[in-house]
Amino acid sequence: MHHRRRRLRLLGVVAALSALLPTVGNPVTAAAKPPAPTRPAAGPGTNHATDDPFTAERTSWWRQDRFGMFIHFGAYSNLEGEYTRPDGTVCRNAEWIKRECAIPNDAYEKQAATFNPADFDAEAIVKAAQDAGQRYIVITAKHHDGYAMWPTRQNTWNLRDHSSFDPHRDILAELKTAADAAGIKLGFYYSIWDWHDPDFADPETFPRYKKRMYGQLEELVDTYDPALLWFDGEWDADNPANTWSRRDGADLQAYLHGLDPKLIVNNRVGKREVVDGDFGTPEQEIPTEPVDGQLWESCMTLNDHWGFARYDTHWKSSATIVRNLLQVAARGGNYLLNVGPDSRGRIPQASVDRLRETGRWLGAHGQGDAVYGAGHTGLVAEPAWGAVSRRGDELYASVLSWPAPGKPLHLTAKAPFTVTAATVLGSSQRVAVTAAGDGFDLTPSGAATDPAASVLRLTIKPPPAAPAGTGTGLTAQSWANGSFTGPPSVTTVDPTVNKSYRFDGSPDPTIPADHFSTRWTGSIQPRFDETYTLTTVSDDTVRLWIDGRPVIDSATPHGPRVDKGTVALTAGHRHRIRIDYTEGTGEAHLKLLWSSPSQPQQIVPQRQLHTR
Ligand code: FHN
C-alpha cells in the first residue's frame, strides 16, 4: 500500500479518535508533517507530459466512469439563494450572491458565522450518487468567496473556524470515508479567484495568496487523497482583479504533479487551453462532436443554479439527463451533473428523485453499457434519431425518437463492418438489419422500451486490423536554434511525440527553453486501412508530411492550438513521416495524435512508430 495511503488510513483512525476528544486550536487532525512534496523536474531537458490522458492507467477510471456528481456547497448555501438588503429589498443569487448582491464583507462574514450544515449526511449523499449511477463526486472545497469547507490551517475563514457547525466534524473527511466505502472516487473543486483573501487582488501581494493557496492544496491532497482537482476561477476578471496567468497555471500543474503524480486535473488549472490539465470543461453545453486533442467533461446544473436557491424549481427531467448522458458518452466525454445542498446540508428531494430515476434507467436491462466504458465511434455518423456509442465489438444505438411501425432507423457507415446481431435491450422484439445505401437500416418489430431512450445493441464484426506494431519510436533531431540550422545538437529516439515543455522545458538539458527546433523522422504504421485524422497540439509552429506529402502546415508562430489533417493509410504499411517543430519564446508544446473510424483518438503509440 502506498506509504501516503497508509498514513491517510492512520489519520482516519486518529481523526475518529480525536472526534471523541475536545479539540483546541485549529483541530485539523495533527497529521505527521508530510514529507516535502517531491520537487518536480524543471528547466531545460524537462518534458512535463508524463503520459497520454486518452490511454493512461492514471485516467482509466475517469474515462470508464463517465458520469459524476458535482456538489456546490459553501457559505453562500446558508443564504439559500436570497439576501435581504438593509433597505428591505431582496436580491437573489446562489454561489455568486456575495458579489451579485454586493453584500459587504462584514455582513457576509456575519451570516457565514451562522452557517450550520448539521444535516450534512455524507452517506446519504454518496447513496444519492450511487442511486443515480454517478461514479465520482466533485465537491466545492473552496468557491470564489474563499470560504474553505475543511479546517484549513492557512486562515480562519472556513467551516471549522467561522460557522456554527460542530467543530468536531469535517465534512470532507466524512465524504471521503463514505465515498471510499462505496467505491466512488472523490474530487475537489477549488477556485483560484478569491474574493476574500486580501492578498489576492494586488500583484504585489499575490505571492502571499499563492503561498496560502499552495498550502491549502497540499492540505487537501495530503489529508483527503482526492482522485481529482477541479479548478475554476482562472479567467481574467475584476472585483477583485484576477491576474492568474498561463505561467501560474504551468507552475501549479508542476506543483500538483509533485504532490501526487496520479492526480487528474481539469483545464481551468491554467487558462482553459487544450494543453492545460487533463480534460476540457464545457459548461451547460454538450460539444456537438468529439473534442480534438483533449479529453472533456460537460458540467451542468440540474435546475438553473449551481448553489442552492430555494425558489428555483426549474428542474431538468430525468429523460433529459439520460439523453444528455447518452450524447456525451457517444461523443467521448464525461457528464458532471450538479446538486446544491441547502443551508442544513441536505440535497433537495427534487434533485434526489430525478437522479434516482436516471439511475433506474441506467440500471435497467444493461442500458448503462451504452455509457460506462463506452465511447465515441468513428464507424458510423451520429444519427438524427439518437446517439451511438461503442464498447468493444458492440455498438449501442440509443434511440431518442422511435420510428413509426415498420420504419427503419438508418445508420451511415464510415468504414466497412458487418452487424452480426441486433437486439433491443429490455425487449424480445426482433430487429431487422439490412444493408441500405451508405450503411444499414435497422427495423425494430416492436415498441420503444422507455420514453427517455431505448437502446439497440449491435454486435459487429469490425474492420480487419493489422497486428500491433513493434516500433520503438521516431528519430528526433533537435537544434539549439529555431531554424534547424547546422548539425543537430541532440539526436534521440522519441517513443512518442508527446511534449509539454511549457515555459521552462526543452528537448535536452543542453538546449535552452527558447529558440529551439526539432525534426522527427521515421515511419508511422497504422493498423487499419482507413482515412486517418492526424492531430497536432502545438506551440509555436508545426509542419507534418506523410510519404512526402504535406498534411499539416501550421508554420505561423502561435499559442497552444490544434491542427488536423486527413490521410488515407494502409494497414500494417510503414508510411514515411516527418514533423518539423519550432519554438520561439514563451511556452512550448507538441503532441501528435491520430484517430480513424476504427481508432479512437490517442497519442500515436510507440509500437506504431519506427525510426526509419
Ligand atoms: O463562477 C463559477 C460558477 O459559480 C460555477 O462554479 C461554475 C461551475 O463550473 N463555474 C464558474 C462559472 O463558469
Rounded to 5°, angle at Cα 160 from 156 and 163: 90
299 lines ligand 1 (CB under 6 A): yes
Q: Model confidence over 315-362: pLDDT tens digits?
A: 999 999 999 999 999 999 999 999 999 999 999 999 999 999 999 999
Residue 587 burial (CB < 10 Å; 0-12/13-18/19+)?
buried
Looking from the CA of residue 94, the nearest atom of ligand 1 is: 4
- Which single residue is written with the C-alpha cell 495533527? 30
95 lines ligand 1 (CB under 6 A): yes
232 lines ligand 1 (CB under 6 A): yes
234 lines ligand 1 (CB under 6 A): no
One domain for residues 222 and 151: yes
One domain for residues 257 and 285: yes
| 468 part of a folded domain | no
Can you say how many angstroms the Cα of residue 329 is from the centroid of all Cα atoms in its chain? 13
Mean pLDDT over the full length of the chain: 94
Task: Assess whether pLDDT exceeds 90 at residue 135.
Answer: yes
| 45 part of a folded domain | no
Contact 578, 534 (CB under 8 A): no
CA of residue 92 to ligand 1 center, whole Å = 16
Nearest CA to ligand 1 atom 10: 232
pLDDT of residue 20: 41
One domain for residues 519 and 561: yes
For the ranges 13-27, 88-102, 269-283, 563-577, the lowest mean pLDDT is seen at 13-27
User: What is the distance between the alpha carbons of residues 540 and 301, in angstroms, rounded to a whole number?
Assistant: 37
One domain for residues 428 and 576: no
Complete DSSP assignment for 354-405 = HHHHHHHHHHGGGGGGGTTT-B--SSBPPPTTEEEEEETTEEEEEESSPPPT
Query: What number of residues does the chain have?
Result: 612
User: What is the distance between the alpha carbons of residues 504 and 379, in angstroms, rounded to a whole number?
Assistant: 41
Half-sphere exposure of 160 (CA within 13 A, CB side): 24
How large is the average pLDDT for residues 250-256? Answer: 97
Nearest CA to ligand 1 atom 5: 306
Grid coordinates of 68: 459524476
11 compared with 154, residue with greater pLDDT: 154
One domain for residues 163 and 132: yes
Task: Assess whether pLDDT exceeds 70 at residue 224.
Answer: yes
Residue 37: name the closest of 225, 257, 248, 235 by CA: 257
306 lines ligand 1 (CB under 6 A): yes
Q: How many Å is the Cα radius of gyration of the chain? A: 26
Residue 431 sits in a domain whose CATH number is 2.60.40
Q: How many CB atoms lie within 10 A of CB 21?
A: 9
Residue 193: name the closest of 220, 163, 211, 213 by CA: 213
User: What is the distance between the alpha carbons of residues 25 and 33, in angstroms, rounded to a whole number?
Assistant: 17
| 64 part of a folded domain | yes
- At 327, is the secondary structure helix, strand, or coil? helix
User: What is the distance between the alpha carbons of residues 311 and 139, in angstroms, rounded to a whole number?
Assistant: 22
Rounded percentage of the chain residues whose pLDDT exceeds 70? 93
393 lines ligand 1 (CB under 6 A): no
Q: State which of 188, 266, 281, 283 you would mutate to test the pocket of ligand 1, scoring each by most atoms of that ligand within 8 A of its C-beta.
A: 283
73 lines ligand 1 (CB under 6 A): no
One domain for residues 394 and 452: yes
CA of residue 528 to ligand 1 center, whole Å = 42
Q: State which of 188, 194, 306 you would mutate to test the pocket of ligand 1, scoring each by most atoms of that ligand within 8 A of its C-beta.
A: 306
Residue 193: name the closest of 268, 104, 93 by CA: 268
- At 179, is the secondary structure helix, strand, or coil? helix
| 323 part of a folded domain | yes
How large is the average pLDDT for residues 2-23? Answer: 44
DSSP 250: H
Q: Identify the band that residue 23 occupies on the pLDDT scale cut at 50, 70 and 90.
A: very low
CA of residue 144 to ligand 1 center, whole Å = 9
CA of residue 306 to ligand 1 center, whole Å = 7
Residue 229: name the closest of 191, 284, 272 by CA: 191
Cα dist from 347 to 71, 72, 135, 499, whole Å: 9, 10, 17, 43
CA of residue 448 to ligand 1 center, whole Å = 37
Contact 533, 568 (CB under 8 A): no
One domain for residues 107 and 244: yes
Count of structural domains, the chain: 3
Q: Model confidence over 68-126: pLDDT tens digits?
A: 999 999 999 999 999 999 999 999 999 999 999 999 999 999 999 999 999 999 999 99
Contact 90, 83 (CB under 8 A): yes
Contact 361, 452 (CB under 8 A): yes
| 38 part of a folded domain | no
CA of residue 234 to ligand 1 center, whole Å = 10
Residue 362 sits in a domain whose CATH number is 3.20.20.80
pLDDT of residue 470: 98
Last residue of a domain, one of 396, 426, 461: 461
Q: Model confidence over 479-531: pLDDT tens digits?
A: 999 999 999 999 999 999 999 999 999 999 999 999 999 999 999 999 999 99
Q: State which of 71, 232, 267, 285 you would mutate to test the pocket of ligand 1, scoring each by most atoms of that ligand within 8 A of its C-beta.
A: 232
Looking from the CA of residue 230, the nearest atom of ligand 1 is: 9
Residue 456: name the closest of 411, 492, 488 by CA: 411
Last residue of a domain, one of 431, 461, 491: 461
Looking from the CA of residue 95, the nearest atom of ligand 1 is: 4
CA of residue 539 to ligand 1 center, whole Å = 28
Last residue of a domain, one of 461, 496, 525: 461
pLDDT of residue 1: 39
Looking from the CA of residue 281, the nearest atom of ligand 1 is: 9
CA of residue 490 to ligand 1 center, whole Å = 45
One domain for residues 597 and 527: yes
pLDDT of residue 309: 98
pLDDT of residue 22: 35
336 lines ligand 1 (CB under 6 A): no
Q: How many CB atoms lie within 10 A of CB 37?
A: 17
Residue 480: name the closest of 498, 506, 446, 460 by CA: 506
- Which single residue is written with the C-alpha cell 504585489? 204
Residue 82: name the closest of 106, 98, 60 by CA: 98
CA of residue 99 to ligand 1 center, whole Å = 13
Q: Model confidence over 186-207: pLDDT tens digits?
A: 999 999 999 999 999 898 999 9
Looking from the CA of residue 299, the nearest atom of ligand 1 is: 9
283 lines ligand 1 (CB under 6 A): yes
pLDDT of residue 29: 43
User: What is the distance between the alpha carbons of residues 440 and 191, in angstroms, rounded to a whole number?
Assistant: 48
Task: Assess whether pLDDT exceeds 50 at residue 19.
Answer: no
CA of residue 232 to ligand 1 center, whole Å = 7
Nearest CA to ligand 1 atom 4: 95
One domain for residues 258 and 159: yes
How large is the average pLDDT for residues 555-560? Answer: 97
User: What is the distance between the alpha carbons of residues 262 and 240, in angstroms, rounded to a whole number?
Assistant: 33
How large is the average pLDDT for residues 238-250? Answer: 95
| 381 part of a folded domain | no
The residue segments making up the domain with residue 432 are 386-461
pLDDT of residue 41: 74
Grid coordinates of 161: 473556524
Complete DSSP assignment for 277-305 = SSEE--BSS--SSPPTTSEEEEEE-SSS-
353 lines ligand 1 (CB under 6 A): no
Residue 569 sits in a domain whose CATH number is 3.90.182.10
Q: What share of the chain is helix, strand, coil (3-state, %, to 5)?
A: 25, 30, 50
| 51 part of a folded domain | no
440 lines ligand 1 (CB under 6 A): no
User: What is the distance between the alpha carbons of residues 95 and 103, in angstroms, rounded to a whole number?
Assistant: 12
One domain for residues 288 and 263: yes
Grid coordinates of 19: 472526534
One domain for residues 330 and 456: no
Complete DSSP assignment for 459-513 = EEEPPP-PPP-----EEEEEESSTT--SS-SEEEEESS-EEEEETT--SSTTS-S
Give the phi and the psi of residue 132 in degrees, each rounded to 5: -85, -15
Grid coordinates of 194: 478569491
| 354 part of a folded domain | yes
User: What is the distance between the alpha carbons of residues 16 and 168, in angstroms, rounded to a whole number?
Assistant: 10
Looking from the CA of residue 307, the nearest atom of ligand 1 is: 4
One domain for residues 228 and 130: yes
